[in-house]
Each structure stands twice: as structure tokens, then as C-alpha cells.
């Protein structure tokens, strides 16, 4: 019997549910890394199983720095998810990347400073994944095509600065990031990308611009009401984009995401404690006998 494709969706600010999909159930997942942001909602759409998680919880109660990224990604892995797309709000660092535009992220720069849990492998074994290209190109291309079909303005590439937050940038920081050639700025996506790669799940991110960051000369005239208005519009566009994506995505793939750990585990298996092997069996079981 042909395996049903399972697609995970991480909803960012404002995206706490997806209307128009047949809802099957909600599930709570226990993980070795603690509690995910919320229950996972399982939908059925176009012969695919769609598993949705609101990144900050359904009522947006979790700060970016306090998100349990490991539990979130592990939960998707335990549910058998093959591919994850991440939707998030962001600020723009370039004039041509305008509010209400979407950006398919292809690179990240990490500017976090509170030791976020970026790896599943922080005890008893050493694992070094390849991360030069931090998103799945096939999945990113699919997102770009879906955005085009959904008739939203989309940029095919973009470098995402992952700042700490919850405060926004200083003017000096914003200008520094612009000098580096970064395109957009947000607070969440890099940890997801790293952990999805370690979990051998295809991952791609599309960011929706709500405003220009504080570098822009018109920044002081931007109001909270304007940002919220843009956020709401972006959410509606995101829902349309998601449906186009789900209609077009299939299980064929020529990427190496599903073998990311094949040559990445450095520690000899005989020196990995049994308890660690059991804890991480979902991730390393096919490589560690």
C-alpha cells in the first residue's frame, strides 16, 4: 500500500489554525525533550495528512527565546512527518522587500545569545550535520511555486537574520545587518531548520513581511495598528498559499535530507550509553546498532 505523504506545518504569528481542511483530530505528544508548543492538529487534504502546530501556542503565549524547538520538531518526527514548512512573520532589511511580500528563505545568520537548544545531540555522543544549505531546495522551490500560484508577491531567495528578541533591533544593529547583505529579520526559524536537518526531515521556510525594520527612514511613522493590519493580511495570504502548496507537493524527492545523519555521527556506538540510545532511537536507531 502506498504510504500517505505527511506534511508538517508550523504556524507563526497570527496563524494558529488552518480553515478549509478536513480536521481529523488533535494529539498531545510526549517527547524526551519536554512539551511541544501545543497540541498537533491533524488534517486530511488532497490525499495527504497535514499536521499543524502553532509555534507560539494557540493563544500566542510563548516567547521566541522560550520555545521548545526540540520538542516541536521531535513531535513531528514521532508522527511520521516527511516534510515541514514553516510560516513566520518578519521585518525587511531591504527597500525592495516590501511589507506584505513573502520571502522563501534560503540562508540564515544566527544572532541569538541565550543558548537556545539547537541540537538533539548535546550529551554522550557527537554529531556534526552538514548545514551549508540549511533548507531543502526541493521544498523551497515548491513553496515558491505555490506562492506564485496563490498570487502573492514572493521573493525566491532571502537571508534571514535570526535575532534573539523579544525586543526589536537597535538602529545600529539594523544597519549592521543591512551591511552584511541580509534580507529579512525574525526570531525563530534557525533552530527549526537545524533540528529538522538532524531529524532528517525536509524543511523550508517562507516569511511574510509585516514592516521595514528600524533602518528605514519612515520607521517612526509605522504604528502598531499598521503592523497588525499587515499581519492579518499576510495570514490570509498564507492560508491560500498553504492550500496551493498542498495541492502541488508530492512525495518524490532527490534531496539528501532523509540521510543527514548517515555520515554525521562521530561517536562510536559502543561508547554511547544504552539510555542515550533508547532516548534517541527515533533519530539514530537506523544507524546505531
Q: Is 220 a catalytic residue?
A: no
Place of cell 507537493: 249
Cα–Cα dist 103/12, whole Å: 14
The DSSP annotation for 217-270 comes to TTGGG--HHHHHHHHHHHHHHHHHHHHHHHHH--S----SGGGTTTTTB-S-GG
Cα–Cα dist 214/202, whole Å: 33
**Residue 166 preceded by cis peptide, ω within 30:** yes
Q: Nine-digit cell at 126?
A: 557527537
Q: Is 101 a catalytic residue?
A: no
Q: Nine-digit cell at 92?
A: 525587511
Q: Nine-digit cell at 280?
A: 534517541
Selecting among 101, 106, 213, 254, the annotated active-site residue is 213
288: Cβ contacts below 8 Å, ≥ 6 apart: 265, 269, 272, 277
Selecting among 211, 218, 220, 254, the annotated active-site residue is 211
Cα–Cα dist 218/215, whole Å: 9
CA distances from 197 to 100, 110, 129, 256 (A): 29, 16, 8, 10
Give the active site residues.
Answer: 211, 213
Amino acid at each position: 500500500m502506498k504510504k500517505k505523504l505527511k506534511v508538517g506545518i508550523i504556524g507563526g504569528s497570527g496563524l494558529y489554525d488552518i480553515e478549509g481542511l478536513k480536521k481529523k483530530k488533535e494529539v498531545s505528544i510526549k517527547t524526551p525533550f519536554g512539551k511541544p508548543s501545543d497540541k498537533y492538529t491533524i488534517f486530511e487534504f488532497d490525499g495527504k495528512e497535514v499536521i499543524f502546530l502553532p509555534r507560539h501556542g494557540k493563544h500566542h503565549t510563548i516567547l521566541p527565546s522560550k520555545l521548545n524547538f526540540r520538542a516541536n520538531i521531535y513531535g513531528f518526527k514521532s508522527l511520521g512527518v516527511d516534510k515541514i514548512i514553516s510560516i513566520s512573520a518578519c521585518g525587511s532589511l531591504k527597500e525592495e522587500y516590501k511589507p506584505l511580500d513573502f520571502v522563501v528563505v534560503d540562508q540564515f545568520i544566527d544572532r541569538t545569545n541565550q543558548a537556545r537548544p539547537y541540537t538533539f545531540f548535546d550529551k554522550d555522543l557527537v554529531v556534526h550535520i552538514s548545514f551549508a544549505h540549511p533548507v531543502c531546495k526541493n521544498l523551497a522551490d515548491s513553496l515558491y511555486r505555490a506562492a506564485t500560484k496563490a498570487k502573492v508577491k514572493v521573493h525566491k531567495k532571502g537571508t534571514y537574520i535570526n535575532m534573539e528578541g523579544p525586543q526589536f533591533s537597535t538602529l545600529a544593529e539594523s544597519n549592521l545587518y543591512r551591511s552584511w547583505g541580509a534580507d529579512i529579520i525574525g526570531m525563530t526559524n534557525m533552530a527549526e531548520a537545524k533540528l529538522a536537518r538532524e531529524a532528517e526531515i525536509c524543511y523550508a521556510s517562507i516569511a511574510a513581511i509585516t514592516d521595514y525594520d528600524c533602518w528605514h527612514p519612515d520607521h517612526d511613522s509605522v504604528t502598531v495598528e499598521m503592523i497588525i493590519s499587515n499581519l492579518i493580511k499576510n495570514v490570509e495570504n498564507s492560508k491560500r498559499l498553504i492550500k496551493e502548496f498542498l495541492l502541488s507537493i508530492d512525495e518524490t524527492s532527490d534531496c539528501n535530507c532523509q540521510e543527514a545523519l548517515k555520515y554525521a555521527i562521530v561517536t562510536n556506538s559502543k561508547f554511547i550509553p544504552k539510555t542515550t540510545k533508547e532516548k534517541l532511537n527515533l533519530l539514530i536507531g537506523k544507524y546505531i546498532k
